[in-house]
Amino acid sequence: MTGTAGSPRRRADGVPEPRHLRVIVIGAGMSGIASVIKLREAGIHDLVVYEKADRVGGTWRENTYPGLSCDVPSHLYSYSFALNPDWTHRFAFGPEIQRYFERVADEHRVTEVVRFGEEVDRLEWRDGRWHARTRRGTTDEADVVIAATGVLHHPRLPDIEGLDTFTGAQFHSARWDHSVPLDGARVGIVGTGSTAVQIVSAIVDRVEHLSLFQRTAQWVMPAENPAYSAEERERFRRDPAALAENHARLSELFALFANAVVDAESPEAAMIEEACRANLEQSVLDPALREKLRPDYRAACKRLIISPDFYQAIQRPNAELVTEKILRVEPQGVRTADGRLHPLDVLVLATGFHTDWFMRPMEIIGRDGRTLSELWDPRPIAYLSISMPGFPNLFMLNGPNGPVGNFSLIEVAELQLAYILQLLERLRDGTVTEICATAEATERFEAERVAASAKTIWVTGCRSWYLDDRGIPATWPWPFARFREVMAAPDLDDYELR
């Protein structure tokens, strides 16, 4: 066998020698668990997962607030290779989803390769391999890195004067303090996204008074959340084909929603808008409150809120929607611009996440010393949300500008994994040692993505976490069917192969 550093090893007849790959996976959430399972299925067993926390689960481990549930139907928010006949509700609650991921990880022996409590803080491409370091000082190296770091785990705190002066209990919704009693308390919630809506519905009947501080009204899609009967669950257990058919049907239904948000003039977008408007008109009796809750932008411009009972909850006698601007937080509560002090015992910051951080705050150094910070200045960029020029053999799941609408990120991750595994085969067969998207392909994709965004619902007149610093949606602007087609097979002309 012959070969030099950075080049394929070859047999005496000149044929490339199959290559042994070592893979580092960063994160043991939904995408990280799937990565281990699919890598092993592909015959790659030399792998390790670095996870900053003490157990698997990702965002479902870190978010434990009252009322937490998924806004994607549970039978769709499931791995296609681990369908679950025992979901208890149409939209599963957080603890049940966490147990599902833990069970799948245990059944597939994922935890055997997870290094818990090890947060990767540095990656450097050197001598043809990735060199990793964790905050504990552990060092490792691998041929390939898969970043399964997720996007909903870096809490965003609001810029409100006096937050540090509040004498009651205060925490971000993703850092819920379960030692704080809610029964009979005066609770304030800052924010009106999905998290805040779920919390309001879950706690309003427990607290003495609930103040929901609204900066922007949200459209709410009505969706009941019935429990599955014992008979329904038994039928799914007895008939795996029916379970798989149900998963496929839900996937197609949610693809229709994806079509609606990428085409603001589509019939589907109009249907969504009418359903949301009717929900508001029929559910909120007080005309003054109804107008406070009426957004001045189109439905689905922001991530659509799905709730069966939020309008009912905010109309409880002990609930108040506060639309006056927050002036500051004081020791005893929140002062609004009208001069009123809202006395509180508990202040919950349901203010979202830094959704543009992805792998950050890791220090990542690619080829020729180029850093991720330099590449992502002024904003994150990636070819098909998976690969970046100058960062060979580094692949992302649910990376920048991918599909993040109201549909299953599990399906997105599975499609991306199948795509990435095809790239890894090029490394394994020994024909190349380095793969990354070309700068030209990345720039072309970005230009096409920006142009296509002009037709989407996200640019019709609202501010949302979808929008980047230019006001361009940082997401996939085409139908989901196109995403499936693109993920079916890599176009190797768009990749630099060394």
pLDDT in tens, 25-54: 999 999 999 999 999 999 999 999 999 999
Specify the pLDDT at position 299. Answer: 95
CB atoms within 10 A of CB 4: 7
What's the token pair of residue 224?
């009941």
- Confirm if 262 and 477 have CB atoms less than 8 A apart: yes
pLDDT digits (tens, 9 = 90+) for 46-55: 999 999 999 9
Confidence band (pLDDT; 50, 70, 90) for 493? very high
Q: Is 106 left (phi over 0), alpha (psi -120 to 50) or beta?
A: alpha
SS3 281: helix
- Confirm if 456 and 473 have CB atoms less than 8 A apart: yes
Give the residue carrying structure tokens 């990345």.
Answer: 442
- Strands (DSSP E) contained in 181-247 are 186-190, 209-213, 220-222
Where are the alpha helices (H) located in 387-432, listed in sequence order? 409-428
Specify the pLDDT at position 14. Answer: 58
Strand partners of residue 328: 335
Kind of pairing between the strands at 326-330 and 333-336: antiparallel
**What residue type is assigned to position 26 of the chain?**
I
Enter the DSSP assignment of 137: -
CATH 3.50.50.60 residue ranges for the chain: 23-154+354-497, 163-226+234-349
pLDDT digits (tens, 9 = 90+) for 448-487: 999 999 999 999 999 988 899 999 999 999 998 899 999 9
pLDDT at 4 over 70: no
- Confirm if 320 and 211 have CB atoms less than 8 A apart: yes
Specify the pLDDT at position 2. Answer: 35
pLDDT at 208 over 60: yes
Phi (first) and psi of residue 193, to 5 degrees? -80, -170
Specify the pLDDT at position 5. Answer: 41
Specify the pLDDT at position 1. Answer: 35
Confidence band (pLDDT; 50, 70, 90) for 355? confident
Q: What is the CA radius of gyration of the chain?
A: 24
pLDDT digits (tens, 9 = 90+) for 116-156: 999 999 999 999 999 999 999 999 999 999 999 988 788 99
Calpha distance 325→157 (Å, rounded): 17
Specify the pLDDT at position 16. Answer: 64
Specify the pLDDT at position 406. Answer: 58
What's the token pair of residue 441?
């392909």
Calpha distance 438→498 (Å, rounded): 12
Task: Name which of 54, 63, 57 is nearest 31 in CA terms.
Answer: 57
Rounded mean pLDDT of 76-90?
Answer: 97
Calpha distance 117→124 (Å, rounded): 21
Confidence band (pLDDT; 50, 70, 90) for 255? confident
pLDDT digits (tens, 9 = 90+) for 393-434: 999 999 999 987 656 899 999 999 999 999 999 999 988 999
Q: Return the CATH class of domain 163-226+234-349.
A: alpha beta
Rounded mean pLDDT of 193-221?
Answer: 97
pLDDT at 6 over 60: no
pLDDT at 210 over 50: yes
- Confirm if 390 and 368 have CB atoms less than 8 A apart: yes
Specify the pLDDT at position 356. Answer: 83
pLDDT at 258 over 60: yes
Calpha distance 337→156 (Å, rounded): 23
Q: What is the pTM of this model?
A: 0.94
Specify the pLDDT at position 357. Answer: 83
Specify the pLDDT at position 360. Answer: 87
Kind of pairing between the strands at 435-437 and 495-497: antiparallel
Specify the pLDDT at position 49. Answer: 98
Specify the pLDDT at position 161. Answer: 98
Rounded mean pLDDT of 479-497?
Answer: 96
pLDDT at 102 over 90: yes
Specify the pLDDT at position 12. Answer: 59
**What residue type is assigned to position 460 of the chain?**
T
Rounded mean pLDDT of 289-310?
Answer: 96
Selected residue with higher pLDDT from 332 and 256: 332
Specify the pLDDT at position 404. Answer: 76
Arithmetic mean of pLDDT over the chain: 94
Specify the pLDDT at position 173. Answer: 98
Rounded mean pLDDT of 191-200?
Answer: 97
- Strands (DSSP E) contained in 101-185 are 114-116, 120-126, 129-134, 139-142, 144-147, 169-172
Specify the pLDDT at position 8. Answer: 56
Specify the pLDDT at position 63. Answer: 96
Specify the pLDDT at position 154. Answer: 87
pLDDT at 265 over 60: yes
At the topology level of CATH, where does 23-154+354-497 sit?
Answer: FAD/NAD(P)-binding domain (3.50.50)
Element (H, E) at 436: strand 435-437
pLDDT at 20 over 90: yes
Specify the pLDDT at position 297. Answer: 96
Calpha distance 392→381 (Å, rounded): 15
